[in-house]
Every structure is written in structure tokens, then in C-alpha cells.
Amino acid sequence: MLQKLQIHTFLYWLLFFTILSSCQDTTQSKKTPLNSAKTNSKVADSLPLTYATGFSITENEHYKVLTINNPWPNAQKQYKYVLLEKNQDRNNIPESEQYTAIITVPITKIVVTSTTHIPALELLEEENALIGFPGTDYISSQKTRQLIASGAIRELGKTENLNTEVLLELFPEVVIGFGIDNNNQGFETIQKAGIPVIYNGDWVENSPLAKAEWIKFFGALFNKGAEANRIFKTIETNYLEAKELAKNTNKNIQVLSGAMHKDIWYLPSGNSPEAQLLRDANLNSFWKNSTNKGSLALSFEVVFDTAKNADLWISPSYYNSFSALQKANAHYTKFKPFKENKIYSFVNTTGSTGGVTYYELGTARPDLVLKDLVKIAHPELLVNYELQFFKPLQ
């Protein structure tokens, strides 16, 4: 079974990255600890959004409204949820307003349906609120795996075919779902039983930092808006520092990505979040000026003629070794990065049960993804940094 990001990444460009702590010496880009200087975050005065456009939070005297603007591509409607604290009166909610559901916050029992949701819970220190998940083997985090092992988190089958019997037995206060469209019978069953389903649209966002900013979505559900703001600010600062650091080199490193699926080579278009990561790492993608949404679908001949002399090959789809690449297509061996052993992939960085770490943490921590790319392309800039996701292909 593939989780949301796995599906998204595979369709976009066969697992390049999507989307999605490290140590450095003081002569390099500084990293602000995510767990420093915690603040009282029960109520935030406002929810500033710098990058994300798929959701918003408005606040009045008696309640907040969480609006999901773009839960999937080309969505035709908004979903509005009242966030009402336990001591607030429902009579203050105007009957004239049409809301998808009223949710009492802070949430204490939650079900999420994508591994990309797990880091937000852990960063907010709310992983104990998670009571069910579809496909628990795909979760990599040791902290959440301990909860699974203890029985605190129940297995719910597959995302596209949830075990609604177990879920209704657990009866969470909210289910965080995702969808390609609004056709999901499992979610409809859950909602009919009185359990709100909120679609998380982080994967639709058009930049790495926009995706990461969805931690503020979870912050609103747990009444930790200020804490979510602080965590995101740290991630943003780390990302922008790494981007600035990468500007300090004049090396023109040309990068190839993706691989063939059947007869088509999928790779990121120039305006995709994946391409932005490459640009921010000061890498030169051959198709950086393309304007297609999502991915490009090219023939092998076009890719080979254009990129056969690339300096690096980042994420050759799901292939986990040079021998696997060669076995799949002998023509891969003709590329310069293959000949020079300069291919990097994240598929070999996994949790104890085989879940790919990138699919869980990459969306939430684009700063680490960017630092990986900077380390690969410009190792002299991050001498003491250790790769978190990408490793040299063996």
C-alpha cells in the first residue's frame, strides 16, 4: 500500500522526492533547535500564513473557523470547520452559517491517514493522541513505532479501504484524510457515524515551505497555534540559511532526476516544488524552464540526448542499486553519473519495518531535504552535516 506522499511522488515523477534535526559547526549555516524556548500556545492571536494557500484560520470572539481551500487539485468547494473550545457555547455559532462540522478543541483522540502527518504530531508533542492509522508498517519514527508496539495505535487497513469497523470502535474526535477527489466511501461512512473528516491538502501546495507550513493546521486542532508558528519559523529559517549558503558557490552542477516507468521518463517540471529544491540547492536542472504543472513525461531518447553528461543523478525512481538500474534498462549505464557512481537515492533510508523515511519526514522538514542536496552538490559548504535522506546508490 502506498501512502499519500508515495502515491503523489510516484505519479509526479516516480519517487524523486515529492515533497516532506541535523548538526553543523559554527562556521556553517546555523540550525535553530526545534525544541528550544517553548511558549504558552493555548490560544494564538492570529494564524499567519506565509506560503501555504490550501487552508486558512479565522478567529472571532467565540470560536475559530478552519477553512480547507484546496484539498485536491481543481477542487470545486471549500470545507469549513468550527473549532470550538470545551468551555465555549455552541449557541454562539450563527445558524445562518453553513459549516462542514463543529469540532471541539483541543483534540485528544485523532486518526491520520498519511505518514506525512506523523511528524507534525510529534513536533507538537501530540503523538499520544494518535489512536489509529492505515498501514502502520509504513511509519518509520521510533517514537510512534513504540506506541504501535504497545497497542496504543491500532491498524486500520489501507487508506483507500479503511477498516471502518475498527475505526468506529475507536471513535476518534476527528479523522485527517486526503483525497485525489471527493469520492471516498470510507470517509462518507465515517462522517455519517458522526466523526468529522478533514481533508489535508498539504501535498497540493506548490512549494516545499508551503507544504511544511501545514503544521499550523495541526496546531489549530490541538490549540497549539503559537507552538506551531514557532516550529515552522525554525524550519523556515534553517531552509533559507541553507539556500543562502548554496549561493556561495559558482559551480555549475547539472542534475538529472527520475527514471523510466514503462516507456516514459518522469521528472519534475521547472515550476514544481521538487524543482525549487534543486534551484535552492544551486543545482542546474536541464528542464528548469519548463512550465508544466507537476511532472514532465519524456521519452528515453529525449532525456538521454539532453542529460547524458549530467554531473549528478538524484533519485532514480524506486531503484535501490546500480545493478537494479542496469537490470531494468541497460541504457542507464550510458549516463555519466552511472559511470562515475554519482547517483543518490532516498529509498534505502528506512524505518525498522521498511517504511521510507523520506515519505514520512520529507514534507515536514524541507530544510533537511535541502541540506541533503547542498551536501551532495557542495560538500565543502556543510562539512560536518550528515545526510538524512539521500544516500549514495550502491
Averaged pLDDT, 154-170: 92
Rg for the chain, CA atoms, rounded: 21
* pLDDT number for residue 1: 40
pLDDT at residue 43 is higher than 80 = no
Q: Spell out where 60-177 has E strands.
A: 64-68, 79-85, 101-105, 110-112, 130-133, 154-155, 157-158, 161-162, 174-177
Q: What H or E segment, with its residue span, contains residue 12? A: helix 4-13
Same domain, 144 and 173: yes
| Residue range 276-325, pLDDT digits in tens | 999 999 999 999 988 877 789 999 999 999 999 999 999 999 999 999 99
| HSE-up (13 A, CA, CB side) for residue 359 | 28
Range of the domain at 79: 34-238
Q: 12 in a domain, yes or no?
A: no
- Number of folded domains that form the chain: 2
Averaged pLDDT, 31-48: 49
Same domain, 173 and 68: yes
Q: 52 vs 35, which has greater pLDDT?
A: 52
**Bridging pattern class, strands 295-298 and 312-314:** unpaired
Same domain, 119 and 221: yes
DSSP 145-214: HHHHHHTSSEE-EETTEE-HHHHHHH--SEEEE--SSS--HHHHHHHHTT--EEE--GGG-SSHHHHHTT
Same domain, 87 and 221: yes
Distances, alpha carbon 179 to alpha carbons 4, 71, 167, 186, 202, in Å: 8, 7, 18, 11, 11
CA distance 282 to 291: 19
Model confidence band, residue 25 (pLDDT cutoffs 50, 70, 90): very low
Q: Which 8-state DSSP code applies to residue 220? A: H
Same domain, 216 and 258: no
Q: Which 8-state DSSP code applies to residue 262? A: T
Give the closest residue to 105 by CA, choosing from 122, 88, 127.
Answer: 88
**Bridging pattern class, strands 154-155 and 101-105:** unpaired
* pLDDT number for residue 165: 94
150 contacts 172 by C-beta, under 8 angstroms? no
Same domain, 136 and 269: no
Q: Which of 238, 267, 296 is the last residue of a domain?
A: 238
Distances, alpha carbon 277 to alpha carbons 36, 73, 118, 183, 246, in Å: 27, 21, 22, 32, 11
Please state the pTM of the whole predicted model.
Answer: 0.88
